[in-house]
Chains A and B, each alone.
Chain A
Amino acid sequence: MKPVVIIGAGPAGIRAAQTLVAQGVRPVLLDEAARGGGQIYRRQPANFKRSAVKLYGFEARKAKALHQTLDTLREQLDYRPDTLVWNAEADALDTLHEGRAARIEFSRVIVATGATDRILPVQGWTLPGVYSLGAAQIALKFQGCAIGERVVFAGSGPLLYLVAYQYAKAGAKVVAVLDSSPFSAQVRALPGLLSQPATLAKGIYYRSWLSAHGIPVHQGATLQRIDGEQRVRSLNWSDAKGEHQLACDAVAFAHGLRSETQLADLLGCEFAWNPLNRAWLPQRDRAGRSSVAEVYLAGDGAGIMGADAAEMAGERAALAVLEDNGHPIAPQRCVQLEQSLTRINTFRKGLEQAFIFPEHWAANTADEVMICRCEEVRAGDIRQVVREGHWEINRVKAHCRAGMGRCQGRMCGAATAEIIAGESQRAVSQIGRLRAQAPVKPLPFGLEVES
């Protein structure tokens, strides 16, 4: 019999696995990382001995619980770490593990592929020393190193304050935090944020801690450019008072997160424009069922809601799998999970208000700013193609290569869409959706194939 397969061993994938195992199902759990936990609860290498509290702060208990769940389940799972799912077809996934390609057929699949940073480039963003916020956090959490000695954190989103706090706590010199959202937006967002008082309290705590430790936090602050020759040397930012310069040797920046949706796309899921995420997302019902009967979606890969929601969505999607397979499930638990997810979504709406998307980014981005670093496509190159009459994003990609390189648009797709929308004077929802093409990540020549 074909197994139930879970893609991704983060909060959603692990809870989904646990829920299936509890009903006597032995799922296959595929994970690209060497150790489960996902990005947020990423585990340090086995020979590193930092404590959970040191690594995960307030989230230590949750992180430990999740890791322990995976460790306990190991014998009851077909757990395959270090395994990239590079392609998906109707009823099969194609994997790559230590240079060997294999195919795994599934009866049902839970896609829990997580998220990466949403990048809105500025002049100089490709200089050594510039990282995404998520990458800066991984450097610290996984390898125990900082991205620089004098670091500026910029952009917006909850991760901005969290990572700045974690760096400062770890002893790094945080030069400043530049939040592109104005203070007024955060005040307006308060009613929504109050739906998750504990989470809100943590956010306020990080911010207050930074201020209390003398770290400048600027709001309504736009990162203008990053300068340096071999490496970051300084940056310019602006606010209502004018333009300012800061000396630094590293920058971490991002504007929130974006869902990793390529596998859902390759699996044939229908997508819809999601204004809250400002992105095309695979459609799902409250339980996580996609438009394709055998495909279920959970966690940030189907829309950004955070780790707590991912755990619940993973469990809920697994319950849907069980239900659709004819297992008896507790309907009360389903209702409970769905209600909690609804509450978190209210909070998420508040977060979007608090960390408002910088709508003016495209208009303010100069032609010479590199948008697609893989293919070295600048904003002006994209605009030129739009001026030639093209406006559909796949079409623009075909003409100027934006999104055509190694990352396949995972890093540059959102920014490319904003530039196209701005230049063609269309809403960003009206320029089409960047289609996913296998491989999801690069695939080596000369690989071995499992028969």
Chain B
Amino acid sequence: MIEVDAIIIGGGIVGASAALFLSKAGRRVALLERDFCGSHSSGVNYGGVRRQGRPLSQLPLSQRAHEIWGQLPQLIGIDGEYQRSGHLKLARSLDDLRALQDYAASSQGFGLDLQLLDRTELRARFPWVGDVAVGASYCPDDGHANPRLVSPAFAQAARRHGAQVHEQCAVSAVEHDGQRFRVSSQSGLELHAPWLLNCAGAWAGRLAEQFGEAVPMHAGHPAMLVTEPLPLVMNASTGVEGGGIYARQVARGNCVLGGGQGFALDAARARPGQQAVIEILRQAVELYPFLEGAQAIRTWSGTEGYLPDRQPVIGHSSTQPGLLHAFGFAGAGFQIGPAVGQALTEIICNGAPSTSLDAFSITRFHSISVA
């Protein structure tokens, strides 16, 4: 039997950063990961480290995350290929450009420093963008990183600060005996703690349901691909207003592109699928003409949790004291994840987070009947 202060279920970037910050605050932590830490959506996502485009309600937390990302090497021991390349959100129509202008206006005061570029300015500053773009919104301090390296490194750093990190350790039972949580694993571990953190990503719904607060979460499978190394061309990570292809180029020269949805192979594995891959290959050359003739060498997908309003659930359970939820990041949890881990730590250590989490309360689904 292992006695700790907090048990964390899920070794993605949220759970692992909570493990890191709690350990740094002197708390005894056990992190249980069914597979390997950061091997699901935290490790296989696009790698965007972006504030621009998020709902305004997320910006305070996202801004906190931005500061944490600025300290990445000190925090996790590697730079994770993180670079503040800037993030360019392209508009393909004047309507889309107006939407970007509206966003820039309403997000003022959050520290994003967005710059709106008309067609001429866009061509002058980012000549590699295709003619389909009529303008853009540029966030100079947003950027991108390598999720394969960053997310597992949070777990490694937590381990170095004393957290117990149990990989390949699926949870078999969770219960609360009136005083504390009792968690057992398929491998035979038995853990007790007054706090339980549900950071189980696309699979978090089951635990929430067990405590009487089911959420209407579904899994999504973003399609992703990477090219062979190409001459360095893209000096910003990019996205498109209204959805579509997103793309970045890593220092090695490979371009990483995402867009569209793949399909699930089973509960844990997903593939991008032919349709989404071909759509990316077709659309990308309009947005980024330099890719014409380049080769895609690998494709992949992951499994991410989506709630109907595409906002996460973060904070206290309304039914079980000591239970904290943090899941449902709708494919946008990578940047914000470390700030979520920090906020959960504040709840445990200080009684309340320093950034309001009210917008992300699980209670917003309580009046919805979950099919």
Residues on A lying within 8 angstroms of B by beta carbon are 87, 89, 92, 94, 101, 103, 268, 388-389, 392, 395, 398-399, 404-406, 408, 437-439, 442-447, 449
Q: Are B296 and A449 in contact (CB under 8 A)?
A: no
The chain B residue with its CB closest to the CB of A266 is: B271
Inter-chain contacts of A446 with B (CB < 8 A): 281-282, 285, 291-293
Chain-A contact segment, one of B19-27, B272-280, B347-355: B272-280
Of A87, A101, A388, A398, the residue contacting B156 (CB under 8 A) is A388
Residue contact A405 to B39, C-beta cutoff 8 Å: no
Rounded to whole angstroms, the CA-CA distance of A406 and B226 in the bound complex is: 10
Complex interface: chain A residues within 8 A of B295 (CB) = 406, 442-445
Is B299 part of the contact surface with A, judged by Cβ < 8 Å? yes
Chain B residues with CB below 8 A from A445, complex form: 227, 281, 284-285, 291-296
9 smallest A-B Cβ distances: which pairs? Answer: A442-B295, A398-B148, A94-B274, A446-B285, A445-B291, A446-B292, A443-B296, A445-B281, A445-B294
Residues of A close to B315: CB separation below 8 A: none
Q: Which of A92, A405, A438 contacts B277 (CB 8 A)?
A: A438
Contact A406 B39 (CB under 8 A): no
Interface size class of B (residues with CB under 8 A): 20 to 34
> Would you give the shortest CB distance from B197 to chain A, in whole angstroms?
23
Q: Which residues of A contact B265 (CB under 8 A)?
A: 268
Residues of B within 8 A of A405 (CB): 228, 297
CB distance A404 to B298 under 8 Å?
A: yes
Residues of A within 8 Å of B277, CB to CB, are: 87, 438-439, 443
Interface of A is mostly: loop
In the complex, the answer to whether B281 meets A444 with C-beta atoms within 8 Å is: yes
Inter-subunit contact A399/B148 (CB<8 Å): yes
The residue that B297 contacts in the complex, of A89, A94, A101, A442, with Cβ under 8 A, is A442
Q: Once the chains bind, are B278 and A439 in contact (CB under 8 Å)?
A: no
Residue-wise, chain B 218-242 has the 8 Å CB interface mask toward A (1 for contact) of 0000000001100000000000000
Contacts of B149 in A (CB 8 A): 399
A443 to B284, CA, bound (A): 13
A87 touching B274 in the complex, CB below 8 Å, given contacts A398-B39, A446-B281? yes
Q: Does B211 contact A (CB under 8 A)?
A: no
- Least distance between B148 CB and chain A CB atoms (Å): 4
| Chain A positions within 8 Å of B285 at CB level | 445-446
Instruction: Take A103-B274, A445-B292 as given contacts and tell me if A408 and B297 are in contact as well, using a CB distance cutoff of 8 Å.
Output: yes
Cross-chain contact B299 with A437 (CB below 8 angstroms): yes
Q: What residue of chain A has the Cβ atom nearest to residue B279's Cβ?
A: A449
CB neighbours of B205 from chain A (8 A): none
Q: Indicate if B128 sits at the interface (CB-CB under 8 A).
A: no
In contact, A399 and B152 (Cβ under 8 angstroms)? yes
Nearest chain A CB to B93's CB is how many angstroms away?
23
Chain A hits for B274, CB < 8 A: 87, 89, 92, 94, 103, 438
Name the residue among B156, B272, B278, B292 with the largest chain A CB count within 10 angstroms. Answer: B278
Minimum distance in angstroms from B281 CB to a CB of chain A: 5
Tell me which residues across on chain B come within 8 A of A388, comparing CB atoms.
156
The reply to whether B296 and A442 contact each other, CB–CB distance below 8 Å, is yes
Shortest beta-carbon distance from B279 to chain A in Å:
9
CB B130 to nearest CB in A, in angstroms, measures: 12
B-chain residues with CB within 8 Å of residue A406 when the two chains form the complex: 228, 295, 297
B11 within 8 A of A: no
B36 CB within 8 Å of chain A:
yes
Q: Give chain A residues whose Cβ lies under 8 Å from the Cβ of B297.
A: 405-406, 408, 439, 442
Query: A439–B271 Cα gap in the complex (Å)?
Result: 11
The CA of A21 and the CA of B36, in the complex, are separated in Å by 49
| Given A89-B271, A445-B295, 16 more pairs with CB closer than 8 A | A92-B274, A103-B274, A389-B156, A398-B152, A399-B149, A405-B297, A439-B299, A442-B228, A442-B295, A444-B295, A444-B296, A445-B227, A445-B291, A446-B292, A447-B281, A449-B278
A430 to chain B, nearest CB (A): 13
The proximity string for B residues 293-333 relative to A, scoring 1 for CB distances below 8 Å and 0 otherwise, is 11111111000000000000000000000000000000000
* B43 at interface by CB-CB < 8 Å: yes
Residue of A nearest to B227 (CB): A445
B273 touches A89 (CB 8 A): yes
* A103→B275 CA distance, assembly (Å): 10
Which residues of chain A are near B293, meaning CB under 8 Å? Answer: 444-446
B281 near A398: Cβ-Cβ < 8 Å: no
- B238 vs chain A, min Cβ distance (A): 15
**Whole-angstrom CA separation of A442 from B148 in the bound complex:** 22
Most buried by A among B271, B284, B294, B296: B296
A151 to B358, CA, bound (A): 73
Cβ–Cβ < 8 Å partners of A442 in chain B? 228, 295-297
A268 CA to B298 CA in the complex, in Å? 18
A-B contact pairs, 12 of them (CB 8 A): A89-B274, A94-B274, A101-B278, A268-B265, A438-B274, A439-B299, A442-B295, A444-B295, A446-B281, A446-B292, A447-B278, A449-B282
